[in-house]
Amino acid sequence: LAQSEATAIHLATKLVRHFVADAPPPALVARLSQAYLRSGGALPEMYRALVQSPEAWASEPAKFKTPWEWTLSSLRGLGLREAGAQHFAPMLTQLGQPVWRPGSPAGYDDIAASWAAPDALVRRVELAQRLAARVGDRVDARELGPKLLAGTLSAPTAAAIARAESAQTALALLLVSPDFQRR
C-alpha cells in the first residue's frame, strides 16, 4: 500500500493543498508523487521536492489563514504576548476552530471555503477590533503594515490604513485586510 501510486498521489495532494494552494497544481502533485515513488516511500523526499518547487515560493500568498493561523499572526503582529489559554481558546472558539474539538476525526479543514464565509469574516472583524483596542495607539498600523506584510502590502490596504479615523481602526483594518488573511 505504501508503495502504490495512489498513495503517492494522495499524500502529494494533501501536502500541496496544505502548503501551496487549495487547488493543487497537477504538475507539482506529480513531481511530489514521483519523488515519493523514486525514494521507495520516503516522506522527506516529498518534503524536499515541495520546498524546492517554485510554486511553493510564489510571491502572491494563496492560502487563506485558518483561525489558528490568523489569531497567532494577529497576536504576534501586535506584540500581544500575554494572551494565555484563558483568552486564546475562546478566540479560536469564536472564530469557529475550538481547541481540541475539530468535529471530525479528519481534523480541521485547511481550505478557504471552510474559513472565509461571510459570518466567519464578521467574527474576524469583531476580534480584530477587540485586539486593536487592547493595543490602543501604542502601535502605528502605517509602520506595522509594511513589516507584517513585507512585499505583499497592497496599495489599497496601505491607503485604507492611512485614511483610518483612529489608530485602533487602522490596526483592525490591517488585521482584516485581504493581504493579512492569506499566507
Q: How many CB atoms lie within 10 A of CB 168?
A: 21
Contacts of residue 126, defined as CB under 8 A and 6 or more positions apart, other chains included, come to: 94
Residue at grid coordinates 477587540: 130
Cα separation of 138 and 69, whole Å? Answer: 23
Closest CA to 131 of 94, 91, 98: 91
Q: How many CB atoms lie within 10 A of CB 21?
A: 17
pTM of the predicted model as reported, rounded to 2 decimal places? 0.85
Residue 61 C-alpha cell reads as: 500568498
Is the CB of residue 12 less than 8 Å from the CB of residue 46?
yes
Cα separation of 22 and 39, whole Å? Answer: 26
The tens-digit pLDDT sequence of the chain (183 residues) is 888 999 999 999 999 999 999 999 999 999 999 999 999 999 999 999 999 999 998 767 789 999 999 999 999 999 987 765 557 888 999 999 998 899 889 889 888 999 999 999 999 999 999 999 999 889 999 999 999 998 889 999 999 999 999 999 999 999 999 999 998
Residue 107 CA: distances (Å) to CA of 98, 99, 100, 102, 178: 11, 11, 9, 5, 25
Half-sphere exposure of 105 toward its Cβ, with a 13 Å CA cutoff? 0
Q: With residue 141 as reference, give the H or E element that holds it.
A: helix 141-148
Question: Phi and psi at residue 121, in whole multiples of 5°?
Answer: -70, -35
